[in-house]
Amino acid sequence: MSPANPKLHERDTPDPSAPPIQVIGLHKHFGTNHVLKGIDLTVNKGEVVCVIGPSGSGKSTLLRSVNLLEWPTGGKVYIEGIDVQDPDVNLDYVRTRIGMVFQQFNLFPHMTALRNTTIAQEKVLGRSRAEAEQCGRDMLERVGLEDKIYAHPSQLSGGQQQRVAIARALAMNPDMMLFDEPTSALDPELVGEVLQVMRDLAQSGMTMMVVTHEMGFAREVGSRLIFMDDGVIVEEGLPRDVLANPQHPRTQAFLSKVL
Amino acid sequence: MTLTDIRPTVRRRIARLSSYTIALIIVVILAFIGDWPRMGRQFFNFEIMKKIFPSIVTIALRNTLIYTVIAFVIGTFFAIILALMKMSKGPAHWFAVGFIELFRGLPALLTIFGCAYMIPIAFNFHWPSIGGSQGVAAGLTGLILVTSAYNAEVIRSGIEAVPKGQREASRSLGMSHIETTVYVILPQGVRIVIPPLTNEFVMLLKDSALLFIAGATVKTRELTTFGRDGMTSNMNATPFVCAAILYLLVTIPLTYLVGRLEKKMAVKK
């Protein structure tokens, strides 16, 4: 989308010097259920932030609040310096710069792998069919699926589907990627191929926020590890420090169960 | 060996065989108690058949199919809009709810009657004449109202059957609410909805018989009107029987098709 796009305004232009993700005092209620209780978090350019914690701790809700799939009930979310809750901001344009990968893949089942990667490029970024397909092919090749471009999601394994989902997000040229338990729905033998793609992505300098249960991945790839419990960030630090030497008793209790 | 020990395919075959046997027994009993010469004269009178063919096919069946298809296409178009309205918030939702409940709750016959006679009186209004009759436009309007209400509910359930993650994935790629609905949700909803919509088409085809109340000319009669007119002018039920057979010739294959589609959808899931 060029700045000449009539739907866009000065306020929609990202500030390259601002952190990709900045969350300030974030609260989220589902009815009477207080899921996020004041989260402050900044993700800097090129960082790979891994978020761990017991189920129900609010880590997925936090991730989904970043691109406003969940609308916060309090606090602020800034993406590249833009207040995304501002009703005058073009939220769809902000979302094109945030790639999102889901636990359940959420590929469009009525489209081929290639079409999955091109539809939003054409409809949102206004790329031509040829341009979009070139980019889609490149991305599918990047995740090692150049021989599956015409397969439908139902013909692919879980690991392949998740790699298509990553390619689909990458095809939008996002500035950052969100991963919501990307390997939790996979058979154990398929986890490796997806983690490998994510590892390559991290090495290429992509800003990433990853909700995961893969402690090995967090230790090896993560630049920061965040432990959440009961709607708050309990502890954060270098992954190997937090994993090897947790300070908070709740972190210790959680890690003793999963490691 | 109990019933559950039998393989399902075998069990189905046994069930089918026994229902055929029962049907055969009923037919045999009817054959013995029926007054066949009289039934032949009254229901399968060859002389009268010669009189009504081919116009029962070229006019009546043709009109039935045309009316059904027109009402179905336009009705489904409105049904999509109604379904989207019902799933929205605000006044559009309540309009759709009211519309759907009204025309699903009324007998189709009353709706058609209302379109044909009550609306013209109430608003001093004349339906455009099609083929020399105002009944066609009035009756079709009634059918469209009824179909759009029924199909709206079918389509809404289809759209709601599309997993929530599909909308989330599409929105997270930056596609707008409308783009998401058009490119992601509706194409999947339509697939889910094709078997029940085909079913609605069969129902509508049968409901088109109610057009008789709106009145028709010789050229605009559909099957039931044609059969009824043929019955009164000949003092003989043969035209009705022929109309019934023609209905079945269309509806039974369609119903069979619905079964096939449903099976195919089940496999895909």
Instruction: Please report the ipTM that was assigned to this predicted complex.
Output: 0.91
Number of domains observed in the structure of chain B: 2
Of residues B169, B159, B183, B186, the one with CA closest to residue A119:
B183
Alpha-carbon distance of B151 to B80, in angstroms, equals 8
Same domain? B55 vs B142:
yes
Interchain pair B179, A123: CB under 8 A: yes
Under the banding of pLDDT at 50, 70 and 90, the label for residue A3 is: very low
Alpha-carbon distance of B67 to B237, in angstroms, equals 24
Give me chain A's average pLDDT, please.
92
| Residues of chain B falling short of pLDDT 70 | 1-4, 266-269
Same domain? B3 vs B73:
no
- Within 8 A of B268 by CB-CB distance, chain A residues are 154
- Within 8 A of A106 by CB-CB distance, chain B residues are 163, 165-166, 168-169
- Flag whether B39 is in a domain: no
Q: What is the pLDDT of residue B269?
A: 47
Backbone torsions φ then ψ of B48, nearest 5 degrees: -70, -35
Going from the C-alpha of B37 to that of each of A33, B70, B106, the distances in angstroms are 78, 42, 42
For residue A178, pLDDT over 70 is answered with yes
**What residue of A is the nearest CA neighbor of B179?**
A123
Q: What is the pLDDT of residue B214?
A: 83
Interchain pair B174, A124: CB under 8 A: yes
Interchain pair A92, B175: CB under 8 A: yes
Q: What is the pLDDT of residue B268?
A: 54
Q: Which helix (H) or strand (E) holds B204?
A: helix B186-207
Same domain? B18 vs B146:
no
Interchain pair A120, B187: CB under 8 A: no
Q: What is the CATH number of the domain that holds B97?
A: 1.10.3720.10
* A179 bridge partner residues: A101, A210
Same domain? B157 vs B30:
no
Single-letter amino acid code for the residue at A81: G
Going from the C-alpha of B16 to that of each of A94, A187, B1, B23, B105, the distances in angstroms are 60, 42, 20, 11, 36
Nearest by CB: B173 against A104, A154, A172: A172
- Flag whether B170 is in a domain: yes
Same domain? B22 vs B146:
no
Coil/strand/helix, residue A66: helix
Q: What is the pLDDT of residue B266?
A: 65
Same domain? B29 vs B70:
no
Same domain? B30 vs B49:
no
Query: What is the largest distance, in Å, between two alpha-carbon atoms of chain A?
Result: 55
Interchain pair A108, B166: CB under 8 A: yes
- Dihedral sign from CA coordinates of B244, B246, B247, B252: positive
DSSP A57: S
Under the banding of pLDDT at 50, 70 and 90, the label for residue A174 is: very high
For residue A2, pLDDT over 50 is answered with no
Same domain? B55 vs B134:
yes
Question: What would the DSSP string read from start to end of B72-114?
Answer: HHHHHHHHHHHHHHHHS-SHHHHHHHHHHHHHHHS-HHHHHHI
- Flag whether B19 is in a domain: yes
Same domain? B136 vs B22:
no
Closest-CA distance of chain A to residue B267, Å = 12
Alpha-carbon distance of A33 to A31, in angstroms, equals 5
Same domain? B62 vs B15:
no
Quick one: tokens of A77?
Answer: 């979310």
Alpha-carbon distance of A28 to B224, in angstroms, equals 62
Same domain? B160 vs B139:
yes
Query: What is the largest distance, in Å, between two alpha-carbon atoms of chain B?
Result: 74
- Flag whether B40 is in a domain: no
Going from the C-alpha of B34 to that of each of A24, A92, B39, B40, B184, the distances in angstroms are 86, 73, 8, 10, 59
- Flag whether B220 is in a domain: yes
For residue A1, pLDDT over 70 is answered with no
Can you tell me the mean pLDDT for A144-160? Answer: 94
Same domain? B19 vs B66:
no
Alpha-carbon distance of B152 to B87, in angstroms, equals 11
Interchain pair B172, A67: CB under 8 A: yes
* Domain boundaries, position B7: 1-34
pLDDT digits (tens, 9 = 90+) for A182-221: 999 999 999 999 999 999 999 999 999 999 999 999 999 9
Place of tokens 């001093």: B124
- Flag whether B85 is in a domain: yes
Interchain pair A107, B183: CB under 8 A: no
Interchain pair B175, A69: CB under 8 A: no
Length of chain A: 259
Alpha-carbon distance of B240 to B233, in angstroms, equals 12
Contact B211, B222 (CB under 8 A): yes
How many Cβ pairs within 8 Å bridge chains A and B?
62
Quick one: tokens of A228?
Answer: 């959440």
Mutation site for B-interface testing, chosen from A8, A95, A106, A164 by largest number of B Cβ within 10 Å:
A106
